[in-house]
Chains A and B, each alone.
Chain A
Amino acid sequence: MKNTPANIEKDLSRIAGLIAEIRYAEAPESLSEKVLASIKPKKMTFFKRLLRRLKTPVSVTPLRVLPASVSALAIFALALTLFWRAPGTRIVTERINEVTDQGIKTVMLILDRSDARDVEVIGSFNNWSPEGIRMVWDEDRGLWVVVLNLRRGSYEYAFRINGKEIIADPMAFLHRDDGFGHQNSILIIGNGNGNEAKI
């Protein structure tokens, strides 16, 4: 056969296919056991544990882990005042963490989903109304943002993306099963001493 470009190309394809078919020898079964016998579990430093905790959502029952005082705040969850800023409204980030005389706290929720067409927050702060609170696309930050003014209490919430997909807040520390296969994030508004957090 002549070494025409077509023949060479055919041969190279065939060789590549045969390389894929080469049968490898099995590794001895004891190999993984030997490896595991040679290593010790890694220990994380305090700061690495903290960083990991910040990055990783955990599923817990809040009443088990939260102090009694915080748990009691959940009773007042329905006594909520909510102000929603319409899309396009300038976001007043300076007011974040500010607690007014009425005990209302301004919090900002953010979501990094640049692929979404629209994002809403749904949650206990408006009795899980199907009409969620629309988030605003913040061009500068590249994030979906909403600012909420909430009274003290414990709230559950989730994001609804493009009207269908419901996800927990990836930035929240604590989540609770909703009983329907999803998880809700938990937001605690404390007494304004700076310890309250989106957890």
Chain B
Amino acid sequence: MASGEETLVHEILSGDVNSYALLVKRYQKPIYNLMLRMTSSEQDAVDLTQETFVRAYEKLEKFDPSAPFFPWLYTMGLNLARDFLRRAKKFPIEFYELENSFSIEIDQDDSLADRIDAQDVLEGLQTLPVDYREALLLRFHEGLCVSEVASALGLSLSAAKMRIHRGLLRLRQLLEKQ
């Protein structure tokens, strides 16, 4: 758990709303960006981010303060975003059978690693199924350990490892085709 979060949670449960403000400020950026990716709408992203934090506050008694707060919050946000898209009858790519995908060998002088930048990777990520995209962002952008990624996405440890590895391979394939 991030520094001092267990104490913060105890303080919030004791009635200190200001301690919750610290958690909101700490995590509003990744949650807001999750909602932007899910909805592609700034207004919907703001509303869903707000709803995520309010819902997390309401359910805080059920949270184990010794566990990391962010994966728990992220799970809640992801579920809210999926519910929102379902109601709006918008369906993101949820699952993609990567086992059946194949790579195209392209002969280029420069290696892929030398040709790509963060913008290319961001564009590639946006074409990946949600679970793969979020697994990669949680692992490499948020710096969560694999067990925390598994917790946030409701996966087993081995499934989370596989999701990250296959997500990277798929992203490489996409970038090679560019």
How far is it, in angstroms, between the C-alpha of A19 and the C-alpha of B111 when the chains are bound?
Answer: 18
Cα A113 to Cα B39 in complex, Å, equals: 50
Alpha-carbon gap, A197 to B91, bound state (A): 62
- Residue A32 at the chain B interface, CB threshold 8 Å: yes
Q: Is B83 an interface position by the 8 A CB rule?
A: no
Residues from chain B with Cβ under 8 Å of A12 in the complex:
168-169, 172
Interface string of A71-105 (1 = CB under 8 A from B): 00000000000000000000000000000000000
**Contact in complex: B21, A16 (CB < 8 Å):** no
Question: Cβ of A7 and Cβ of B28 under 8 Å apart?
Answer: no
Contact of B125 among A8, A19, A32 (CB under 8 A): A19
Number of interface residues of A (CB under 8 A): 39
Docked pose: A32 CA to B29 CA in angstroms: 11
Whether B172 pairs with A11 at a CB distance below 8 angstroms is yes
Interface residues of B in 45-96 (CB under 8 A from A): 46, 49-50, 53-54, 57-58, 60
Specify which of A3, A10, A23, A56 is in contact with B118 (CB 8 Å cutoff). Answer: A23
- Determine if A26 and B14 form an interchain contact, defined as CB atoms under 8 angstroms apart: no
Shortest CB-to-CB span from B88 to chain A, Å, is: 21
Residues of B within 8 A of A39 (CB): 17, 20, 54, 57-58
The answer to whether A195 has its CB under 8 Å from any CB of chain B is: no
Which chain A positions have C-beta within 8 A of B155?
Answer: none
